[in-house]
Structures are given as C-alpha cells and as structure tokens.
Amino acid sequence: MVEPGGNLVATSTGELTFDQQARPDPTQNVAVEPRRPPVSQSQNPLTRAVAASLMAQHDSLGAIQEAQFSDLRFQRQRYFVEATPLRQDLGWILVTVIPTSELMADIYGNLARTALLCALALLGSVGLGLWTADYITKPILSLQRATQAFTDGMAMVPPTQPIRIQEVEALRQGFDHMVGQLVRSFQNLKDRENTLDTFLNGVPVALSVHDQRGQMLFLNAKGKELLVNGIALADAGHLAETYQLYRAGSDQLYPTDELPVVRGLRGETDYTDDVEIETGDRRIPLEVHTIPVFNILGQVIYSINTFQDISERRQTERLRANYQQELERQVATQTASLVASETTKQALINAIPDLLMRLGRDGLPLEIYNLEAVNWLGDKAQPYEATMYQNLPGPVAEERQRCVEQALATGTIQRQEYEFVSRGQTFCEEARIIPVTQDEVLVVVRDISDRYKVDRLKDEFISIVSHELRTPLTAIRGGLGILAAGVLQDRPQKAQQMLHMALNNTERLIRLVNDILDLERLASGRVELRLEPCQIDDLIDQSAGGLAAIAEVAQVTLHIASEPALVLADPDAIVQTLTNLLGNAIKFSDPGQKIWLKVERLPASSADVNGADMNGADMNGTGTHDGERSPQPYLRIAVQDQGRGIPADRLEVIFERFQQVDVSDSRRRGGTGLGLAICKRIVEQHGGEIWAESQLGQGSTFFFTLPLKEL
C-alpha cells in the first residue's frame, strides 16, 4: 500500500513502514505526520523494482486513476502486477504482485496434458481446462472482492478463506496482515485526533491552523463562534473576502499581503489588533497573534493563529480618548485664562511634569516652562535663540513641523510620539500641539519612556513564557505520543525514560508558574513575612542540603563558611533566596569547579559592604553596590562561583524581571529570569540589600545583607 506521493504505507513483506530512529533533540521526535519511507527506498528489492516499473509507466503514482495491470521481469522471473487506487479521501494505491511462473504452473501443466489428449478426448480436455481455471481463479477473485471492499470503506472487509495453493495462501495471509495494520493505524490516528480536538476546543481563545496555501485546516469551537462561515475552501488570496475581514474603521477589505496568516506563512511572527470581521449584524474587532511552524529543513508548513473579540477593550480606549480630549481642552482653556494671573499660572505649570512651550508659526519659542522635563533642548541657557526644530533630530523635527502646520491650518490638536538617543540614553516622548491662535500653538511634551519600558517588558514576558511553555509541552506530547502509538511495548526501559522525561518537563512547568506567582505576590505586597528568630546556620543547611544531589550530578563542590547568628526573618523566604543563588551558581559552573558560601557579621561602622574576597584574595570586580554605611550591625551572605562571569553592563539588569545574561540561557540551561528578581524582593522586604560583583572569565559573587536586630 503506497501514498500518491510515493511513501510506503503498509506491506505484506513484514517491513516496518515507520521511521523509528530516535533523534538527538527530543523535540524532533514529534512530527506533524508519520515519517513513512519512500517506496523507492524499501528494504525489499522486489518492492523497489515494482515501484520503478510503475513510475516508468506513469508520471507519478498519483496519476493512476483506475486499476492497471502489467507484468514485470525481475531476476529472470516474470511477475503479475495489479495497481488499484482506493476510492477514499486518502487516495492510497493497493499494489498486488504475484509470480507468474508459480501462479500459472498448474495451468501450463494442464494445458500440456490437454494438448496431448486433445486428439483422444476433446470434450474431456475442455472440461478439465475449465475446472482448472475455476480452481485457480477463485482465490484471486476472493482477494479481488476483499480489495474492492477495502477501497469502498474499511468498515466491512469480508474475510478471505484459506487456500490450498501455497503461493496464493501466502499472498492471502500477507493481505490480511496488511489490512490489520491499516485498521490499527487508522484507529490510533483517530484516537489522537479526538484527544487533540478536545484539548483545542477547550481553549478559551479562537484558534485556526492554515497550510502553505493559506487553506484553513482546523478551527476550534471558539473560532467557529467568530467565523460564521466555518472552515471554507479559500486560499490565502481569498481569506479576507471569504470571511469578510476589514481594516479597522474602514470599508476596505484587509490587504492580503498584510494578513497575519500570510505573514505567518512568510515565516514572520505577527501581532495586530486592527482587524474587524463582519458577522451580519455588527462588526467585531479582533486581536490576532500568528506564529509560523517550520519543518526540520526550516520551511514553513503551517501558520497557527489565535484571535479574540476585543470589543470591550475598544470601548475602554474610546472612553480614554474622550478623557484625553477633554483633558487637552481643559489644559488649553486653563492656559488661556492663566494669562491674567501670572502667579496662579506659574504655580499650575510648576505642578505639571511636562514641558510647556508657546510656539510661533516660525518655530521660535515664545515662552517655555519646565525646561528640565525634556532632554533635547541643547543650550538651556539660551533656549529662545534657536527654533525648536533645530534642537530635534532630523526626522523628528520634520514630523514636528508638519504637526504644527497641520494644527494651525485645521485648528485641531495634533499628537506625535517619537524615540531618540541623548547622551547615550534612549528616551521616548509624546508631544501634543494645541492651536491657540492663528499664528501660535501650545506644545506639551511628556516623557513616556516608562510606558515604553512596560511594553517591552510585556513583550519579553510573552516571548519567554511562550517558549518555556511550548518547549516542555512539546517534549511531553512527543513522549506520550510515542507511548500511545505502542511503539515501545517491547522496550519497557525506553518507555520508562519517556515517562521520566514527561515528568521532568511537567515539574519544569510547575516551577515556571510558581516563580511567576511568587514574584507577583511579592511585587503586589500581598505576601506578609512571618518573622521569627532563626539561626542562619540552620537556614543555610536546609538550602545546601536540598541542592547537594544536584551539585554532585554537576560535579561541583560546595564550601560553606558560616558563623552562628540569630536573625529575625521569614525562614522560608530566606531559604528560597539561598536556594536560588546556590542553584544559579551550580547551573553556570563547569564540572570540577567550586562554589563558596560565606557568612560574615559586620559592625554598624563598616563602610565597605562589598568587595571582600571569600578566599582571602581581592575580588574587587565590577560591582553594582555603592558601599553605603549601614546604620546598624548586619550579616553579609555571599555566594561565589568560578563560572564565566557577568558583563559590567548586565550586573544591575539581571535583578529585573525576565532578564538573563544571555537570552540563549533560557534554552540551553533553563530558567525564566525570575529567580534574582524574587531574591531582590525578599531581601528588600527584610530591610537588606542585594548586589553582584563579577569579572569575566573568573566567576561572580552575589551578596545580600540582613540587618541584625535585638530580639
């Protein structure tokens, strides 16, 4: 049994029709469809010869539309070949090969005897020939009827009867074996499809899958609520027309080249929220996320899209826009009225954290307030000597001038957002140009760098969490898929390894969720510390003992140098901090290296909090702590490793959310970049400080302090 594309589905020779060779990367053991070998690469030479003969007679196996009969000479022997296309959606082709010499041996013998006796008993010879033909063709007709039943549907395949002809009996048994394989394969595929459909239909967002032509292959239940046409026969060029997709706020169909599905098929990861779908009674705004799926050759084979109704969000944005317009109107009104009262005007302006500038049509400032609110004015000692456009970068200045001219011409408020670099630092600002008179505008400039930073943090969160979720889920699905297929029934040890891999990836997902929840609770202040007297030695023993096995596997040696000290702390939180720091040190240490943990009691008068070498040498690497004097005695805990070190420009960043020294660490070493952020929150809530010192190639040291309090 072969596919129209030439892949071997099943064979009566006993040859395996699935590639079971394990891949180095577990994620490559999962494929979108089974890996069947080409029939031209079959291990059976007769199978390869039959495939070559059929390919020589037809341009491709898919060109066979009806039963074809031919003969084949292979290794000095002739064979009878029948190729029958199955009348099913799969389009598979059933190829039957019978040795002509063995099949016709009895016929030739009988014909020879008949020829000798023809002169004596013509009627007897004719009768004998007919009986012989009927005796031989009955088995073949039985197989043909079974084949026809299989092509019409697998539900009712009549059983074949045992045959006394040895060669035909072998063919019958091979046929029955092949049919059994196909029935089991179809049932397994159906079960897996039902499981996947149940999972995807339970997802609370709409999800669709498209092939390389843009044709929709799958749409879950939530998607069918939004796309009333369901799965329609439409390629990428007709998606917008078929599903009535419009650009938001217009009657223009969404351009094909800009559709998220098409971007995904080009290998791009896309996000957009300017799509609207016509449902008959109203238009629904959609938010669409698209990711491409690649094969092992790096070619895009699918585009996966998630989308959801954002009508409520649009309503909120409109309310916010109305609020902003009202705010702008009030600012303009108040600015005009403040002309009569300079004292009141100055007090109000000083309370606004924005740059206010009265600007003439020629671009020269007439009046400027809050000069320190922006970073592009140049010489602030003479702000009125140059036009506003001369102080801005070229592209920003051109857009600002256009907005000013537009505001003066139309009498409407103009808005501009831009990004620029000043003194090596990137700033983001928003400017509003409000017309006051025919030749004068009010320019309000606000620093929105923090908002842009939040947006970038959100993007990093989505990228890291999607990777950290998809990687273990892919490994779990791959292992369970292999177990469900029954491939490892005879290999219990390998099956146990697959289950262990699925368990490890499940624990990885749990750690990710716990880290995110812990950080959120700490950041929101919902976690109340349970402070109690604790011996720091006991806390260190708990964290080091929990990591001893991991250090032994990593061939890393832990050295603990502590001294008795009683602190008022939350024991679980401090153990979590020590565990995160020691775990990071083990993760980034090579086999044979050492890790030191040292506790020091320092007096209140100690001026140098950081920089002490844990081995008696001078660590004095690049650090982030300013070495301020502590107002009371404290403990300083340090964790030092001999790893690769941290660049100086990353020593502060690594304590922020979702930050790592190298983004590839999340893939090679695991982790989400939340551990140090959690440590920082815990230490600060205890009234301490945390920082890092490092030299590239020589290792890193992480310090944190805990104030000693009288108990």
Q: Averaged over 430-448, what is the pLDDT?
A: 86
Higher pLDDT, 630 or 141: 141
Pull the structure tokens for residue 328: 């702008």
Verify that 636 and 696 share a domain, yes or no.
yes
Contact of 160 with 174, CB cutoff 8 Å = no
341 domain-assigned: no
Higher pLDDT, 410 or 89: 410
Whether 99 shows a pLDDT value over 70: the answer reads: yes
Whether 608 shows a pLDDT value over 50: the answer reads: no
3-state secondary structure of 283: strand
pLDDT, residue 519, reads 57
Strand duo 594-602 + 216-219: pairing = unpaired
Verify that 535 and 665 share a domain, yes or no.
yes
Verify that 244 and 132 share a domain, yes or no.
no
**Nearest Cα residue to 172 out of 187, 160, 184:** 160
pLDDT, residue 622, reads 44
Whether 154 shows a pLDDT value over 90: the answer reads: no
Note the helical H segments in 338-383: 342-351
Q: What is the spatial distance between Cα 49 and Cα 54, in angstroms, rounded to a whole number?
A: 9
Verify that 81 and 130 share a domain, yes or no.
yes
334 domain-assigned: no
Q: How many CB atoms lie within 10 A of CB 263?
A: 20
Whether 637 shows a pLDDT value over 90: the answer reads: yes
**Nearest Cα residue to 413 out of 432, 399, 389:** 432
pLDDT, residue 21, reads 57
Verify that 217 and 304 share a domain, yes or no.
yes
What is the count of structural domains for the chain? 5
Pull the structure tokens for residue 506: 């499940």
For residue range 473-485, list pLDDT tens digits in order: 665 666 666 666 6
Verify that 167 and 152 share a domain, yes or no.
no
Pull the structure tokens for residue 609: 């909090």
Pick from 498, 527, 556: which residue ends a domain? 527
pLDDT band at 488 (very low <50, low <70, confident <90, very high): low
**Nearest Cα residue to 628 out of 605, 597, 650:** 605
328 domain-assigned: no
DSSP of 151-211: HH-SS--PPPPP-SSHHHHHHHHHHHHHHHHHHHHHHHHHHHHHHHHHHHHTSSSEEEEE-
CATH number for the domain harbouring residue 592: 3.30.565.10
Whether 597 shows a pLDDT value over 90: the answer reads: yes
332 domain-assigned: no
> With 0-12 CB in 10 A as exposed, 13-18 as middle and 19+ as buried, what is 563?
exposed
pLDDT band at 173 (very low <50, low <70, confident <90, very high): confident
Higher pLDDT, 628 or 460: 460
Pick from 265, 296, 318: which residue ends a domain? 318
Strand duo 557-561 + 594-602: pairing = parallel
Q: What is the spatial distance between Cα 660 and Cα 663, in angstroms, rounded to a whole number?
A: 6
Pick from 100, 133, 156: which residue ends a domain? 156
For residue range 380-397, list pLDDT tens digits in order: 556 666 777 777 778 888
Whether 45 shows a pLDDT value over 80: the answer reads: yes
- Convert 160-189 to b/e letters by CB count within 10 Å (16 or more is b): beebebeebeebbeebbebbebbeebeeee
Most confident of the following: 93-97, 129-133, 354-358, 469-473: 93-97
For residue range 211-222, list pLDDT tens digits in order: 988 888 888 888
Verify that 704 and 586 share a domain, yes or no.
yes
Whether 489 shows a pLDDT value over 80: the answer reads: no
pLDDT, residue 70, reads 85
pLDDT, residue 292, reads 93
Pull the structure tokens for residue 436: 């006051």
Pull the structure tokens for residue 31: 């494929």
Higher pLDDT, 563 or 476: 563
Higher pLDDT, 664 or 262: 262
475 domain-assigned: yes
The model's pTM is: 0.36
DSSP of 649-692: GGTTGGGSTT--SSTTHHHHT---S-HHHHHHHHHHHTT--EEE
For residue range 271-294, list pLDDT tens digits in order: 998 899 988 788 889 999 999 999
Between 126-140, 535-549, 551-565, 569-583, the lowest mean confidence (pLDDT) is in 126-140
pLDDT band at 503 (very low <50, low <70, confident <90, very high): low
Q: What is the spatial distance between Cα 231 and Cα 209, in angstroms, rounded to a whole number?
A: 10
Verify that 239 and 312 share a domain, yes or no.
yes
Q: What is the spatial distance between Cα 407 and Cα 420, in angstroms, rounded to a whole number?
A: 23
Verify that 647 and 704 share a domain, yes or no.
yes
Verify that 428 and 541 share a domain, yes or no.
no
Verify that 455 and 505 share a domain, yes or no.
yes
4 domain-assigned: yes
> With 0-12 CB in 10 A as exposed, 13-18 as middle and 19+ as buried, what is 102?
middle
621 domain-assigned: no
pLDDT band at 170 (very low <50, low <70, confident <90, very high): confident
Verify that 83 and 15 share a domain, yes or no.
yes
615 domain-assigned: no
Domain assignment of residue 286, given as a range: 203-318
CATH number for the domain harbouring residue 309: 3.30.450.20
